[in-house]
Amino acid sequence: MPDIDQILETRFGFQSFRAGQREAIQALLSGQDLLCIQPTGHGKSLIYQVSAVALGGLTVVISPLLALMRDQLDHLSRRFRIAAGTINSDQDETENDETIARASKGELSILFLAPEQLDRVDRLAWLQGLDIRLLVIDEAHCISTWGHDFRPSYREIGRFARRLRERADMRVLALTATADARTAQDICKQLAPIEVHRRSMDRPNISLNVSAVSGFADKLRLLDAFLHSESGCCLLYCATRENTEIVAEYLQNQGHSIAAYHAGMPPERKKRLQSDFLAGDFRAIAATNALGMGIDKADLRAVVHVDVPGSITAYYQEVGRAGRDGLPATGLLVFDPDDRRIQEYFIHSAQPVPSDFDAVRDAAAEPRTITELKRATGLHPTRVTVVVAELIEQEFLGKEMQKRRQVYTATGRAGRADLSRYQNQHTVRTQGLDAMLAYARGTDCLMHTLREHLGDQESTPCGHCGPCRGEVLELESDGAADDWLANRPVVVPGYLKLLAEGRALFDSGRRSGSFVDFMRHRSAGPPRPETLRALAALAKKLGPDYTVVPLPSSTWGGRAAAIAALGLPIWTGLRWRTAPDARQGTLLNNDQRRANVRGLLAVDGTPPEGGILLLDDYTGSGATLREAARALKKAGHEGKRVPITVARVRWRLGRPGIV
């Protein structure tokens, strides 16, 4: 057996292993497969890094959220001389091809792979030809339907591991910070035979607290006060992309150095945000849980949950990113009992029903890509992904490459799909949410509650959480945050180089009186004078020297009044080539909405030079604005194109209408 102490010292520069690391590495080297359940910050990655060096060949690490791994890769190669690469969808094909070439030539020691890559027929075939000695499954709870975070893309992993094992002498290392007894059992069943190493879930340096609020404005005020009292780096987790933007914008206005981060941002921007945050260019980041394991920042002093997470396991994992350097850190949950509804919506949208399975099977009677299936069925996009993965596993669907596209086709297998997995999932998610809400309302030691829930037998009260100290976070009342929230222009997302980020006056999510009034009287005539004034002010702020290009509309009665009110040069050369078949609001998901308007806008004459404000009454999926920008660009427009609308609405997915 290789001398792992020597590897630790000469390659990694450490004198000794932390608790549990040596045992795990020795078990792997002696040929055992292993499931390690231990808290974040206990050096799980060192287990596979040392093993990778000791075993030679290639170690494949399957992990979600690889987009942010760039720094870790650099670190591995510079500091430890371990050649590592990654394949994931946030990299462009050239970067992925480069990694593939290096791995094929045997130049890599560690290959990080996004689980979605295993869904690709071509990728799977390629992987099976490599000299893989160790397969690491990070966030292993994702493979279990009993886990809080089961992912359809993880289901290929069990099969992949079995196939590799048949072929060669290969070890499996499954890692997770959170697996209760049932989840652990399920992981073991899927990866059997495998041994379990479980460590204490205590994080003694994290002080937990819960602060009850009512309404989003209260949350904003509380976060402002919190950031004033906390001087270290903070991660603020939000449940939705929109909330990350609101939180960051409000706190910036209050003078804090903070940015927003979510999966909907362009890859380059995400990369820059990550490196700026790691470099300390701003102190706090408001993020969805898309910012996960990649955030390799040991000195986070606080993890604040702005919205309640869906389960204790999810919460423990996220809050565990605080204080990985062992110094004192805070885990704060900002709790509004109404947040339950957001989580219930998440549970509902991921939950397929029998008719969804029929719809996907019918749509796949002819070969279709995943986007085409979404468009054809009109289902919520998450459900299509879930249902497709399940139908493949149950052999009702097959997948293959046609030219460079991966398509799905019904296999002709008769009978109905077995949906018991989704009944499990629904039970797990509902119970998980109930337990999380009980934590939020609880009066017992918070760390003890978490540890007990995660099956930690040795748990005792921590002595320093809110309830242990009898501490309640109080908040002074003032209406400024409410006013700001009600009157805040909302972001209209940009799209690549086609469309810059713009603004809308009203947001359907907040259901303000002005929004409801505008939508109700939209077709009748001019908007209220104060709405027109606000729109004109917004336009001047977005582009004082821009030309306004209104989108054609037959249903907006106030269009002429709005154009006139802006007081900027106007150009009206945009028209429908033919009217779309359906109104966007009556369609079922954004893939249908994009198809509904594709190629239908035309430009008469030569577009104006310089910046353009694209004006419309409201925007939902953004598909029409993109088409307008596309048409203008095609007609030779080269300047910036910025959308401005009176309202931004959020369409339901899988059903018609506004959320």
Give strand ranges (E) for 438-494.
Answer: 490-492
| Residue 24 or 446 having the CB closest to Zn ion | 446
Residues 395-454 that bind Zn ion (CB under 5 A): 445
How far separated are the first and last CA of the chain, in Å rounded? 60
Instruction: Tell me which H or E stretch contains 172.
Output: strand 171-176
Stretch that binds Zn ion, among 280-288, 459-467, 593-601, 603-611 (CB under 5 A): 459-467
205 binds Zn ion (CB under 5 A): no
C-alpha 70/C-alpha 277 separation (Å) is 14
Residues 485-524 that bind Zn ion (CB under 5 A): none
Give residue 478's region: left, alpha or beta (phi > 0; psi -120 to 50): beta
Q: Is 107 helix (H, G, I), strand (E, B) or coil?
A: coil
| Residue 291 or 445 having the CB closest to Zn ion | 445
Task: Choose among 555, 486, 484: nearest CA to 515.
Answer: 486
Rounded least distance, CB 201 to Zn ion, Å: 14
Residue identified by tokens 């080539």 is 577
| Residue 462 or 597 having the CB closest to Zn ion | 462
| Residue 44 or 464 having the CB closest to Zn ion | 464
Do 112 and 69 touch, CB atoms closer than 8 A? yes
C-alpha 646/C-alpha 11 separation (Å) is 59
Residue 120 DSSP one-character state:
-
Rounded least distance, CB 469 to Zn ion, Å: 8
Which member of 462, 490, 500, 629 binds Zn ion (CB under 5 A)?
A: 462
Rounded least distance, CB 465 to Zn ion, Å: 3
Residue 228 DSSP one-character state:
H
| Residue 204 or 255 having the CB closest to Zn ion | 204
Rounded least distance, CB 208 to Zn ion, Å: 7
Site string for Zn ion, 465-484 (x = CB under 5 A): x--x----------------
Residues 73-102 that bind Zn ion (CB under 5 A): none
Rounded least distance, CB 446 to Zn ion, Å: 6
Site string for Zn ion, 152-171 (x = CB under 5 A): --------------------
Residue identified by tokens 């069990």 is 158
Other CB atoms within a 10 A radius of the CB of residue 67 amount to 21
Rounded least distance, CB 437 to Zn ion, Å: 19
Radius of gyration of the chain (CA): 26
User: Who's near 167: CB < 8 A, 6+ residues apart?
Assistant: 128
C-alpha 304/C-alpha 243 separation (Å) is 13
Size of site (CB under 5 A) for Zn ion? 4
Rounded least distance, CB 462 to Zn ion, Å: 4
Rounded least distance, CB 332 to Zn ion, Å: 14
Residue 550 Cα distances to 303, 557, 640, angstroms: 44, 13, 15
Rounded least distance, CB 445 to Zn ion, Å: 3
Task: Dihedral sign for Cα 70, 35, 347, 305, please.
Answer: negative
| Residue 208 or 436 having the CB closest to Zn ion | 208
C-alpha 442/C-alpha 450 separation (Å) is 11
User: Who's near 184: CB < 8 A, 6+ residues apart?
Assistant: 35, 37, 196, 198, 455
C-alpha 93/C-alpha 104 separation (Å) is 16
| Residue 206 or 597 having the CB closest to Zn ion | 206
| Residue 108 or 465 having the CB closest to Zn ion | 465
| Residue 103 or 435 having the CB closest to Zn ion | 435
Rounded least distance, CB 328 to Zn ion, Å: 14
Q: What's the order of all strands across the beta sheet hosting 329-335?
A: 206-212, 329-335, 300-305, 233-237, 284-287, 258-261
User: Who's near 153: CB < 8 A, 6+ residues apart?
Assistant: 115, 116, 118, 119, 385, 389
| Residue 133 or 464 having the CB closest to Zn ion | 464
Stretch that binds Zn ion, among 455-463, 529-537, 616-624, 626-634 (CB under 5 A): 455-463
Stretch that binds Zn ion, among 145-153, 198-206, 241-249, 460-468 (CB under 5 A): 460-468
Do 413 and 357 touch, CB atoms closer than 8 A? no
Long-range contact pairs involving 410-415 (C-beta distance under 8 Å, separation at least 24):
410/361, 410/364, 410/365
| Residue 315 or 396 having the CB closest to Zn ion | 315
| Residue 465 or 490 having the CB closest to Zn ion | 465
Rounded least distance, CB 141 to Zn ion, Å: 25
| Residue 464 or 593 having the CB closest to Zn ion | 464
| Residue 465 or 535 having the CB closest to Zn ion | 465
Rounded least distance, CB 488 to Zn ion, Å: 37
Six-digit token string for 413? 């297998």
Other CB atoms within a 10 A radius of the CB of residue 136 amount to 27
Rounded least distance, CB 187 to Zn ion, Å: 29
Task: Choose among 344, 345, 379: nearest CA to 360.
Answer: 379
Do 587 and 596 touch, CB atoms closer than 8 A? yes
Rounded least distance, CB 202 to Zn ion, Å: 11
| Residue 329 or 462 having the CB closest to Zn ion | 462
Rounded least distance, CB 433 to Zn ion, Å: 23
Rounded least distance, CB 178 to Zn ion, Å: 19
| Residue 248 or 454 having the CB closest to Zn ion | 454
User: Who's near 53: CB < 8 A, 6+ residues apart?
Assistant: 2, 7, 11, 82, 109
C-alpha 532/C-alpha 517 separation (Å) is 13
Residues that bind Zn ion (CB under 5 A): 445, 462, 465, 468
